[in-house]
Chain A
Amino acid sequence: MIRCLVALGVLVLSGLAAGEELRFCLRADPKTFDPALVADEYSFAVQYLTGGVLVRFNRRTQAMEPELATSWKVDQGGRRITLQLRQGVRFSDGTPFTAQDVIYTIRRLLDPALHSPIGDSFRSGAGELRAESKRPDQVVLTFPAPVVNLERLLDQVFVQSATSPLKEKAGLGPFVLKEYKTGAQLLFARNPQYWKRDKQGRALPYADGVRLSIQANRETELLRFERGEIDLINTLDTRLYDRLQKEMPRAVADLGPGLDSEFVWFNQAPGSPLPAYKKKWFTSAAFRRAVSGAINRADLCRLALNGHAVPAAGPISPANQAWFNRDLKPHAFDPKGSLQMLEKAGFRKGPGGLTDSEGHRVEFSLVTNAGNPARARLASLLEQDLAQLGIKINIVTLDMPSLLERISRTADYEACLLGFVNTDVDPNGHMNVLLSSASNHPWNPKQAKPATPWEAEIDALMQAQAGLADARQRKAKFDRVQRILWEQTPIVYLLHKNYLVAVSPNLQGADPRPLAPQTYWNIEWIAPSGTRTISQR
């Protein structure tokens, strides 16, 4: 009798502990629940769980696959897309999904007053979008000018209902938001109207719900994972990864390099308040190339990121299979060659360090953001590497708003160490960084006309590839852009960080990939422990 009671108690307790809920953490509150205004990863997470897209970019195959659109056809050189819509689909509140919803969503995204970052990706030229629906299951969208990789952009567009009284709260995704407590948690319940089914005809998602805890403290997040209170950690830092690998080796995975990159650039803005001799150094390709050659990228990866990174040759990571230029290798670590290059450019290394042809000691400040230990380690290693050339670096850490003010408004800085978080694999995602006229062109933003011939060439190549429908031709042009960046080194690319994740061994169906959202991109197929047997797609 007692044994039976104990067994029953254990059963009840284990059932309570396991549940059928997926649990993981966000590091901050989502900034918006409006699908059109999503810009940060936390708002994106909410939309990813609750929103439905027409076409999905499969993070495993890196190919587009049908979702709410069963098929699509792009023609007129990328100006027009015809979408065949899935029938019988309903929003979470029961409102039927129609062609009008697609038209409403796209029109809203392109509303110039909304300033939607997703909408801006579609903005191809002056003029109006033409949206037609001759049949209830078909939508034809005609853009004023070609939109490159049109179907790929649709992966970011979460369809909103044109008629639901719940507006953006009515979603087409696998879950619906049930409760939100600021700073504490978001609770999602299974969307009873979700259209997707597995091979056995069972309604997805497998999980009954999702609990997202707002957890800024990474140590606490790890502790909760170790205790089994959460099932996933989407991005681990290297220190915590190595710790967890020792304790729970089956739970961690190094997914290899992601799309993000870490890099240094020198301020080349002619209007910056820097002395003329420093501007001369920074605008010298030989100086930049020599600095790049003096950096031991393998050591940066090994020491700053415990080996969880790969040296970078340019802005595109090897994880981006379609657009990575395989002919380019990271600048070789060659301090002697770098010194020779500098000597040719008029620099001299003496007992007091490196001096330029006018006798100025080569010394500059390197600004970076505070609160990023890996980046701080990178800065220290750069300081050591460049000391071999006789260059003195003064590391300055600033909080992000101050740093952004300096690099984007006052141009009051000498060199900057930062990283790009890339979510888009397409080269057009780099347009606002690579075009010389762009605000986010790091080394010399908002140029009225390209300051150098090679920047003019990059502008021409980027604009040309954006107008081409042929992927091979685009690749050839973007390969050339990568080569110019490699040769001229306006940005000294350092490394691409690996994506480090943790997934509870109790989960079934998890398939982490280095593209966001790494661990839960296939969330409808992930089954928490305690869920009934699942079938593969």
Chain B
Amino acid sequence: MRTLAGKLAGLVLTLVVGGLLGATLVRLAPGADVDEREQDARLSEASLAALRRENAAPDGVVSFYAGYLGRLIAGDFGKSRGTGQPVREILAERAPLTLRSAGFGYLLAWVGGLALALLLAGLRSSWLDVVGAGAAGLLLSLPAACIGFVALWTGIGLEWAVGAVLFPKIFLFSSALLGNLYGRPHVLQALAKGLSSARILVFHVLWPAVPELAALAGATTGLAFGAAIPLEVVCDSPGLGQLAWQAATARDLPVLVALTLLVTLVVKTSDILAELVRSGLRESRA
């Protein structure tokens, strides 16, 4: 319980520090208070002055940060500099698509990667290991954007592309882990004694692998969101990944800061969950 409280406190601290750094970025970035509309030759001097007032940073550093954090806690991330829409609305509109594609892709990669790793570990055929490692290596060497182009050409869903990006990482890690576990003396002895394959798999291979697999599950959550950026850009999918790209190229700092905080929240939360699983298992074994 104390560990969980500590981890949650760490998460909150990370978000607060991230928020403050984000606010600093917004305030101090060159041209932060410049609006491209100022170049509109039709605008009168009065309109230009109004536009500048609208974009000017508020006076006073403390009031600026306090106001920013206050709005952040209330879920107000400000307005997008690109579209003028509230960032919260944009995130709410786009998040479901990314959650769906990244979530399904994550599941596909885990089901595929783990199943194949188990199969190969169970079969213990060296040439199948080579084939599996070769295929995974090939996928691993392909940049996510290339996989995105393949998805675009073939018309397959984005979740398959996310799955293809994550699959080799999960497969290679699980394969090595399970192969190692299958090669342990007590497993070999159990096999020699004729213990059932299912029992060996569940109790002597999978169960001991759970802490490492949980850590991998935490790490691949962040990777799934990372993969969504190039994939959504290439496949023109209006999710958070595409939004991140557009915000980066247009230097839409309020959107970038909100996305950074959101991804930090997701990654840190999954890390905490993975760590909790690992520590829970360690305690139960002890």
Mask for A391-423, Cβ within 8 A of B = 1, else 0?
Answer: 000000011111111001100000000001000
Distance of A405 Cα from B47 Cα, bound (Å) = 18
CB contact under 8 A between A183 and B238, given known A29-B82, A404-B34, A408-B38:
yes
Distance of A21 Cα from B29 Cα, bound (Å) = 44
CB contact under 8 A between A121 and B249, given known A183-B242, A401-B29:
no
* A288 in contact (CB, < 8 A): no
Whether A400 contacts B93 by the Cβ 8 Å rule is: no
* A31 in contact (CB, < 8 A): yes
Chain B residue nearest to A115 in the complex (CB)? B47
Cβ contacts under 8 Å, B89 to chain A: 182
Cβ contacts under 8 Å, A39 to chain B: 37, 40
Binds B, one of A236-244, A245-253, A345-353, A427-435: A427-435
Cβ contacts under 8 Å, A432 to chain B: 41-43
Whether B82 contacts A28 by the Cβ 8 Å rule is: yes
Whether A402 contacts B43 by the Cβ 8 Å rule is: no
Whether B238 contacts A182 by the Cβ 8 Å rule is: yes
Cβ contacts under 8 Å, A216 to chain B: 246, 249
* Chain A: minimal CB distance from B47 (Å): 4
* B196 in contact (CB, < 8 A): no
Cross-interface CB contact of B50 among A30, A115, A223, A404, cutoff 8 Å: A115
Cβ contacts under 8 Å, A117 to chain B: 37, 40, 42-43, 47
* Chain A: minimal CB distance from B220 (Å): 26
Cross-interface CB contact of A214 among B51, B233, B238, cutoff 8 Å: B238
* Chain B: minimal CB distance from A335 (Å): 33
CB contact under 8 A between A121 and B48, given known A182-B90, A404-B36, A405-B30:
no
Whether B31 contacts A120 by the Cβ 8 Å rule is: no
* Chain B: minimal CB distance from A109 (Å): 11
* B94 in contact (CB, < 8 A): yes
* Chain A: minimal CB distance from B34 (Å): 4
* A439 in contact (CB, < 8 A): yes
* Chain B: minimal CB distance from A40 (Å): 8
Cβ contacts under 8 Å, A184 to chain B: 238
* B217 in contact (CB, < 8 A): no
* A181 in contact (CB, < 8 A): yes
Distance of A438 Cα from B43 Cα, bound (Å) = 10
Interface size of A in residues (CB-CB distance below 8 Å): 46
Mask for B220-235, Cβ within 8 A of A = 1, else 0?
Answer: 0000000000000110
* B279 in contact (CB, < 8 A): no
Cβ contacts under 8 Å, B82 to chain A: 28-29, 31
* Chain A: minimal CB distance from B150 (Å): 13
Chain B residue nearest to A401 in the complex (CB)? B31
* A200 in contact (CB, < 8 A): no
Interface size of B in residues (CB-CB distance below 8 Å): 40
* A123 in contact (CB, < 8 A): yes
Cross-interface CB contact of A121 among B38, B42, B51, cutoff 8 Å: B42
Chain A residue nearest to B81 in the complex (CB)? A401
Cβ contacts under 8 Å, A371 to chain B: 249
CB contact under 8 A between A405 and B238, given known A115-B50, A183-B94, A440-B39:
no
* A533 in contact (CB, < 8 A): no
* B154 in contact (CB, < 8 A): no
Distance of A399 Cα from B48 Cα, bound (Å) = 21
For window 22-71 of A, CB contacts with B under 8 Å fall at 28-32, 39
Whether A182 contacts B51 by the Cβ 8 Å rule is: no
Chain A residue nearest to B51 in the complex (CB)? A115
* B120 in contact (CB, < 8 A): no
Whether B83 contacts A403 by the Cβ 8 Å rule is: no
* B60 in contact (CB, < 8 A): no
Distance of A185 Cα from B85 Cα, bound (Å) = 16
Whether B34 contacts A120 by the Cβ 8 Å rule is: no
Distance of A204 Cα from B238 Cα, bound (Å) = 32
Distance of A412 Cα from B239 Cα, bound (Å) = 38
CB contact under 8 A between A120 and B43, given known A182-B83, A183-B238:
yes
* Chain A: minimal CB distance from B94 (Å): 6
CB contact under 8 A between A440 and B41, given known A32-B84, A115-B47, A371-B249:
yes
Mask for B129-161, Cβ within 8 A of A = 1, else 0?
Answer: 000000000000000000000001000000000
* A305 in contact (CB, < 8 A): no
For window 461-478 of A, CB contacts with B under 8 Å fall at none
Distance of A534 Cα from B82 Cα, bound (Å) = 40
Cβ contacts under 8 Å, A401 to chain B: 29-32, 34, 36, 251
CB contact under 8 A between A405 and B41, given known A120-B47, A183-B94, A216-B246:
no
Mask for A434-446, Cβ within 8 A of B = 1, else 0?
Answer: 0000111000000
* B46 in contact (CB, < 8 A): yes
Whether B30 contacts A439 by the Cβ 8 Å rule is: no
* B181 in contact (CB, < 8 A): no
Distance of A45 Cα from B226 Cα, bound (Å) = 33
Distance of A408 Cα from B34 Cα, bound (Å) = 9
Distance of A409 Cα from B82 Cα, bound (Å) = 21
Whether B39 contacts A431 by the Cβ 8 Å rule is: no
Mask for B240-255, Cβ within 8 A of A = 1, else 0?
Answer: 0011001001110000
Mask for A203-220, Cβ within 8 A of B = 1, else 0?
Answer: 000000000011111001
Distance of A31 Cα from B83 Cα, bound (Å) = 5
* Chain A: minimal CB distance from B247 (Å): 11
* B63 in contact (CB, < 8 A): no
Chain A residue nearest to B47 in the complex (CB)? A115
Distance of A400 Cα from B38 Cα, bound (Å) = 12
* B126 in contact (CB, < 8 A): no
* Chain A: minimal CB distance from B191 (Å): 53
Distance of A305 Cα from B38 Cα, bound (Å) = 28
Distance of A29 Cα from B44 Cα, bound (Å) = 25
Which B positions have Cβ atoms within 8 angstroms of A?
Answer: 29-34, 36-48, 50-51, 82-85, 89-90, 93-94, 152, 233-234, 236, 238, 242-243, 246, 249-251
The 4 closest A-B pairs by CB, nearest first: A401-B31, A183-B238, A405-B31, A184-B238
Question: Given known contacts A214-B238, A401-B34, A439-B38, what 17 new A-B pairs fall within 8 Å (CB)?
Answer: A28-B82, A28-B250, A29-B82, A31-B84, A39-B37, A112-B46, A115-B43, A120-B42, A120-B47, A183-B94, A398-B30, A401-B29, A405-B30, A408-B34, A420-B41, A439-B48, A440-B39
In the complex, 7 of the A-B residue pairs with CB atoms within 8 angstroms, ordered by the A residue number, are A115-B43, A115-B51, A182-B94, A215-B236, A217-B233, A401-B34, A424-B41
